[in-house]
Structure 1
Amino acid sequence: MLPKLMQTIALPAARVEASRRQFLLGALAAGTGIAVGFRLLSASPAAASETAEESRPHAFSPYVTIDGEGKVTVLSSQFEMGQGSYNGIATLVAEELDADWSTIEVKGAAGNIPAYGNIAFGGTLQATGGSTSMASSWERYRKAGAAARAMLVAAAAAEWGVDATEITVENGVLSHPSGKSGGFGEFAAKAVSIAVPTDVKLKQPSDWKLIGNAGLKRFDSARKANGTEQYTIDVKLPGLLTAVMIHPPRFGAKAKSFDASAARAVKGVIDVVETPRGIAVVGDNMWAALKGREAVTVEWDETAAEKRGTAGLMSAYRDLAKKTPVAIARNDGDAEAQFAKAAKVLEASFEFPYLAHAAMEPLNAVARMDNDGTLEIWGGHQFPDVYQRLSGEIARVPAEKVRLHVMKTGGSFGRRAVFDGDVVVEAVYVAKAIGFRAPVKVQWTRENDMQAGRYRPAYVHSLKAGLDEGGRLVAWHNHIVGQSIMAKTAFEGMVQNGVDPTSVEGANNLPYAIPNQTVGLTTTDAGVPVLWWRSVGSTHTAFAAETFLDEVAEAAGRDPVEFRLSMLEPESRHAIVLRLAAEKAEWEKPLPQGRFRGVAVAESFGSVVAQIAEVSADGNGGIKVERVVAAVDCGLAINPDQVRAQVEGGIGFGLSAILDEEITLTDGKVDQGNFDTYTPLRIDAMPKVEVHIIASANPPSGIGEPGVPPIGPAVANAAYRALGKRIRVLPFARSLNA
């Protein structure tokens, strides 16, 4: 069972600030140093109906610790999977603390929802997703840093017998005009006796040295580059066993029986056990477990299995797209009446395949039961509260006896944000099945990840646009057909009137002034497990809308950039990024022969990104993306270098998906197994990328995902000019080879 509180989770908001009155700063002694953090009240002290229990502070959880040597450790509520959340949160703390950047360390924290809950999700669970890490951390981590600084200054003032206002702090050193000075470590323990400030003063932007510093490099760059960074796959414990999984070949199937006699004869195989998620082969090393897996035979019960292939599924989707939508997500004006009298009516259908997350590090987790009854779990805990609760239920220990070690992971893109625990509960199931006699690492192979994973849903869009005699877009209709991500999860309550917001985001909030528009949705029922995938609904809605909009602009005889700007408020965020991208790409300047441009703009996770792609024809009926110019408004850029990296990475990720990636099924079985058949972008296909960041004083919004949606339509629009062919079925390889 999932925690009941998760049934009322709010959707991510771009910018959400916590009530100042709900947070209580606190401090505790931590060895030879100090820990500063928060307690969080269940309800506002001002609430008239408040009870004693509701106003009781929850257990203290540190946000920053400073030890006797002056080392600063930030305890991150957000999970690090390569997107730079640790670096961003470290920047917030170090800025207000005036710490020495070289002394900063960041560790993942878990186990206290009130303190570490994601504010953008209503604070009701600790979760990393929706590009909300900086929005959720922006105020509270700066406050923790500022409070720690104030307490260190007060301790130094008391020690030196001087006025605290005369003390300056820089790079982890406190100084006084008299010549007295000392490092953080000298005063960390003494600061514990100082009263925690109730009204923490934060720096003004004019005083920032780290926030917004384009030259600040990631604190963890060196160990990522030299291979010393530790991930779950690197966890080594005394007596550690390795388990590999045999999952059902069809989704929904279950093991009926299995024969492991031959597997148990393989040297190094310790055991073969059944779990609710499949058969696990346990060995004293990975190779032994893999060889043992080859020797296991399983009979599957496929009574409830999905046996349809993608060809049949997509055919059914196409038929549904031609019918009346089951639900309506947006209905402005009277689109049907405008279509009836439009001077021109255009129609188009777009198809999107299932997509794998294909993170660099396949899924894994480690479980160990300690002698005192504490269950320890190492893993990429994107939803730690969920995994803690589920693991405790499986192991039959209280949730507070489940200790999570939050490990960094080699990518996720949403894949580790699952409500059933996935590989984490597999590790607990396997450890339990062998009597918890040894720690167990469950390590998926790439084939496990491709064939037993969760996928970006497949979709079909049916679009229609109407132009009046003056070439103005007066009517728009989009019917979306595909699976719901939120259905049958803790987010199911967010499906309102048959509309899953993740299916229509980016489609039902187009920024363009189109007076008559409808967005309809027909949600399908398929046995293929689906999940959010980097930029979620905008992965397909932006492509369909922005590609079709180019067709409409051409029918109107208008320039694509000018046509878009004509439907945007001149000073809107969309118009500003679009003009900047066009300026930097020299849109109005003719290109050399053989080069062609395309444009797209999209908003997702509170940020707006415009991209202009430049392509060339490769001579074989395909295209090569040569250059991409991106302009981004993500609010205040805490780490400009990281913002740039995320947009660059998003472009590569999105480009990889549109060109050649797809998951297909034959008779319910996934056809792809590794990177020979599921082909991500190769390095020689990565274009030159330029990223231009809009200066903004607004609070930070998302950046891990917004770079993905515009690249597909921008390239498709450029490809049309290069090849004279509209790409409406993804991936490009399928359309161009048809």
Structure 2
Amino acid sequence: MNAATPTRRQLLRGMAAGGFILAVGIAGNRIAVAGDTSTGAVFAPDAFIRIGTDGATTLIMPQVEMGQGIYTTLAMLIAEELDVDLATVTLAEAPPSDALYGNPIFKIQVTGGSTSVRGYFLPMRRAGAAARTMLVQSAAARWNVDPASCSTELGTIRHAASGRTIGYGAVAGAAARLKPPAEVQLKDTRHFRLIGKPHHRLDTAHKVDGSLQYGIDVMPEGVKFATLCASPVLGGKVAHVDDSQARALPGVRQIVVLDNIVAVVGDHMWAAKQGLDALAITWDDGANAAVSTETLWQGLQAAATQQGVAVTKGAAVEANGADVVSARYEIPMLAHAPMEPMNCTVHVKPGACELWVGTQVSTKAQRIAAQVLGIPPEAVTLNNHLIGGGFGRRLEVDMVERAVRVAQHVDGPVKIVWTREEDIQKAMYRSVYGSWMGAELQDGKPVAWSHKVVGPAEVARFLPPAFKNGIDSDAVDGAVETPYLLPNPAITYVRHEPVGIQTCFWRGVGPNNNVFSTECFVDLLAKKAGKDPLDYRRSLTDPKGRAHHVLDLAAEKAGWSMPLPARAGRGICLQFAFGSYLATIAEVAVDDDGTVRVQRLVTAVDCGIIVNPDGVVAQIQGGHVFGLSAVLHQQITLEKGRVQQSNFHDYRVLRIDEMPQIDVILVPSAEAPGGIGEPGTVSVQPAVANAVYAATGVQLTRMPIDPALLARKA
């Protein structure tokens, strides 16, 4: 992360001067200690904590930093129990290893799904506590005193009775020879020095001074540059390439033609891009040449006629009951469009390969490179870097696979960079999804509830062992568990894999569809019952529960009962997902031409115990902006198998003049930590839709907002 960050090779070698590495295997929270280099032992690369004889502390990060602040949060967890000054630590990214760095929830090395704090809250603290215990034991042995009579403070061990002090570095070598404790005592929350306190991001200064490297920044010696063009239609192949004009351009060194990819290699990126633009490529579009946005919607709606797999055992709502309300809600295909476009630098050598990339799945990236080259995974050295936006796109390794295929034909290292157009038009996408809702009402409240979810099974593709009994846990997330006291609900799932596109996770994942549909449907039921949407939700939640509490907090802060002018409204989203409770209230104004202006968002958050309050607020704010971009502007459309959007002019992100006021209320809690990276994106869509409903009387059932539906009629 900075100039002092050790390389992977340095981590493998350890410190020649001696020191201490504590490695914590997450499975079962097993603790194993590597040796002291002064005695000739080899330090294992799976360490979370490394302390040099000079007291320098390096923390190895098992999760990837992609703007969510996880480096800071995980470092706070370790430093809290280790008792070191967070300002003095050095952070390093973990090398690929499912066994040592497997996410405790997914059991593979992956950053995503708002699982970092949920998964690592205790393991990271235990690692710090165990290291501190062993350091204290070493100091106590040196002084011939009871370890219980010693204390620690910011990397120093103290013995109050004798007034003696010693730094961690001075006892690091001796600590490495101790047997690790079978159990560790974690701090009482009352004694937290870091956890629960706001802390600035540890990577901010290095972003400001330019020393921080993203994957796109790496420059191995002798590197060439390349950019590529894939088939514009999924499954298409290269039919013919006329490269005569490209080869004549200065700086163009090589043209690589594969079955479905054409790449141009040059002395610099501009030469590669100019060369690619000069190529005349003829494509064989293949079987998906007729796919369109309309065929995607038709396929989804046809799939909804299937019975599906029962996720819960509730009785389905009968469609023709006197007090039955039904509705259908749909969300479109979306791209991720991170600010750092796809890139991967590769050096293929005889029997080996080295990668420089930013990925959310280190071991998957390592394995796909090995698979392409026909070499063992351990022959692939992967240097993972901080990521300029992931949002689920970098959970995929298609860009690594394509980069390695190109690099096979290049002598020396080559940096492959996707243009923005290539990144948006030939990517993997958030699929179309749909929800078919039904409820039977008595006295205005649901006595029966149906929710049929239709969409692809991303878990089945990404993590097959987690796909069980035909149910995709992500696809129904936010539908099975809601914040409401509902009668025995009937939740069903229809797996539908759309034709002609490749799908993947998108920030907010399954709850994007299910919370949108549930919350919009609750507003529809409130209207049917003649109730205020806030009061109606309060009647469906436990008055003593966490959901009820955040709902009341958000309503009070937003001034729910305050009057608004004509064609202005407030809307609510109440959600339980990723282990966190959120209530978001949107305030909007709708212009006569149907343009929706989101003026304010208020979100109350109960995500359990909070590690870094600043980080939580930033995640909610960032998630709201990401979600608003999709609500107001974004969808990917297809015609003749080709994506029609190409850059930020027609796949818009929220602009500065559209930015609403965002207020975030954090609920103090001692509950287990919940996730926070996804929920802010999820909550915006239904909150804004319900605000539009309040302002215009028009309920939006498909995103993004279509102003034509809301325009005031003359």
1:395 is matched with 373
1:99 partner amino acid: V
1:732 partner amino acid: I
Of 461, 465, 484, 1:512 maps to 484
1:103 is matched with 88
Contact 1:414 1:531 in 2 (8 A): yes
Of 589, 604, 626, 1:631 maps to 604
1:36 partner amino acid: L
Deviations, residues 43-64 of structure 1 (Å, cap 9, x unaligned): 999xxxxxxxxxxxx9761111
2:9 is matched with none
Deviations, residues 185-236 of structure 1 (Å, cap 9, x unaligned): 33333433344333222211111110111x3222222223444321011101
Does 1:429 pair with 2:411? no
Determine helix, strand or coil for the equivalent of 1:708. helix
Of 129, 133, 157, 2:112 maps to 129
**Structure 2 portions without partners, runs of 5+:** 1-11, 32-42
Does 1:565 pair with 2:538? yes
Deviations, residues 403-460 of structure 1 (Å, cap 9, x unaligned): 2111101110111112xx21112222222122xx211111111111101111111123
Contact 2:332 2:635 in 1 (8 A): yes
Determine helix, strand or coil for the equivalent of 1:460. strand
1:662 is matched with 635
Distance in 2, Cα, partners of 1:138 & 1:83: 16
2:252 is matched with 269
Q: How does 1:531-550 map to 2 (within 5 A)?
A: 531-550=504-523
Does 1:71 pair with 2:56? yes
1:626 partner amino acid: Q
Contact 2:698 2:710 in 1 (8 A): no
2:559 partner amino acid: E
Distance in 2, Cα, partners of 1:295 & 1:593: 55
Contact 2:356 2:384 in 1 (8 A): yes
Q: Shift of the alpha carbon at 1:159?
A: 4.2
Distance in 1, Cα, partners of 2:467 & 2:135: 49
Does 1:578 pair with 2:563? no
Deviations, residues 366-412 of structure 1 (Å, cap 9, x unaligned): 112468x5422111221111111221222233211212111101110
Q: How does 1:212-231 map to 2 (within 5 A)?
A: 212-213=196-197, 215-231=198-214
Of 676, 697, 705, 2:649 maps to 676
Does 1:408 pair with 2:386? yes
Distance in 1, Cα, partners of 2:708 & 2:301: 16
2:21 partner amino acid: A
Q: Shift of the alpha carbon at 1:498?
A: 4.2
CA 1:509–1:329: 2 relative to 1, 3 Å: same
Contact 1:38 1:60 in 2 (8 A): no
Of 307, 325, 328, 2:307 maps to 325
Determine helix, strand or coil for the equivalent of 2:681. coil
Q: Shift of the alpha carbon at 1:293?
A: 0.4
2:66 is matched with 81
2:360 is matched with 382
Deviates more, 1:551-560 or 1:683-692: 683-692
Does 1:479 pair with 2:452? yes
Deviates more, 1:396-405 or 1:593-602: 593-602
Deviations, residues 313-338 of structure 1 (Å, cap 9, x unaligned): 224434554x35344434413522xx
Determine helix, strand or coil for the equivalent of 2:507. coil
Of 236, 250, 272, 1:253 maps to 236
CA 1:326–1:141: 2 relative to 1, 3 Å: closer
Contact 1:306 1:526 in 2 (8 A): no
Q: Shift of the alpha carbon at 1:82?
A: 0.9
**Structure 1 portions without partners, runs of 5+:** 1-26, 46-57
Deviations, residues 112-167 of structure 1 (Å, cap 9, x unaligned): 3222111101x2x2111111111221222112212222233233334455543343
Q: Shift of the alpha carbon at 1:517?
A: 3.9
Contact 1:104 1:219 in 2 (8 A): no
1:463 is matched with 437
Report percent identity of matched pairs: 40
Of 340, 352, 370, 2:331 maps to 352
1:731 is matched with 704
1:31 is matched with 16
CA 1:519–1:158: 2 relative to 1, 3 Å: closer
Determine helix, strand or coil for the equivalent of 2:572. strand
1:423 partner amino acid: M
1:117 is matched with 102
Of 309, 314, 317, 1:335 maps to 317
Distance in 1, Cα, partners of 2:25 & 2:297: 51
Deviations, residues 534-562 of structure 1 (Å, cap 9, x unaligned): 11111121111111210110110111122
Distance in 2, Cα, partners of 1:304 & 1:318: 22
Does 1:501 pair with 2:473? yes
TM-score, reference length from structure 1: 0.87
Q: Shift of the alpha carbon at 1:584?
A: 2.4
Deviates more, 1:473-482 or 1:578-587: 473-482
CA 1:316–1:116: 2 relative to 1, 3 Å: closer
1:197 partner amino acid: P
Contact 2:431 2:498 in 1 (8 A): no
1:554 is matched with 527
Contact 1:305 1:527 in 2 (8 A): yes
Aligned length: 686
Contact 1:621 1:723 in 2 (8 A): no
1:510 partner amino acid: T
2:196 partner amino acid: G
Contact 1:348 1:548 in 2 (8 A): yes
1:13 is matched with none
Of 221, 224, 227, 1:244 maps to 227
Distance in 2, Cα, partners of 1:319 & 1:401: 47
RMSD: 2.6
Determine helix, strand or coil for the equivalent of 1:658. helix
Q: Shift of the alpha carbon at 1:601?
A: 0.8
Does 1:491 pair with 2:463? yes
CA 1:574–1:163: 2 relative to 1, 3 Å: same
Contact 1:232 1:379 in 2 (8 A): yes
Contact 2:567 2:696 in 1 (8 A): no
Deviations, residues 480-523 of structure 1 (Å, cap 9, x unaligned): 33333245x25345444544333222223334333364334442
Contact 2:76 2:611 in 1 (8 A): yes
TM-score, reference length from structure 2: 0.90
Contact 2:567 2:591 in 1 (8 A): no
Contact 1:368 1:439 in 2 (8 A): yes
Contact 1:28 1:36 in 2 (8 A): no
CA 1:41–1:529: 2 relative to 1, 3 Å: closer
CA 1:575–1:42: 2 relative to 1, 3 Å: closer
Contact 1:92 1:142 in 2 (8 A): yes
2:4 is matched with none
2:631 partner amino acid: I
2:409 partner amino acid: A
2:432 partner amino acid: A
Q: How does 1:38-53 map to 2 (within 5 A)?
A: 38-39=24-25
Deviations, residues 569-593 of structure 1 (Å, cap 9, x unaligned): 2233322222222232232344577
Determine helix, strand or coil for the equivalent of 1:266. coil
Does 1:144 pair with 2:127? yes
Distance in 2, Cα, partners of 1:319 & 1:199: 56
Deviates more, 1:249-258 or 1:89-98: 249-258
Distance in 2, Cα, partners of 1:40 & 1:352: 37
CA 1:409–1:269: 2 relative to 1, 3 Å: same
Distance in 2, Cα, partners of 1:457 & 1:281: 31
Contact 1:65 1:74 in 2 (8 A): yes
Contact 1:379 1:407 in 2 (8 A): yes
CA 1:485–1:276: 2 relative to 1, 3 Å: farther
Contact 1:233 1:443 in 2 (8 A): yes
Does 1:440 pair with 2:414? yes
Determine helix, strand or coil for the equivalent of 1:501. coil
Q: Shift of the alpha carbon at 1:267?
A: 1.3
Deviates more, 1:569-578 or 1:683-692: 569-578
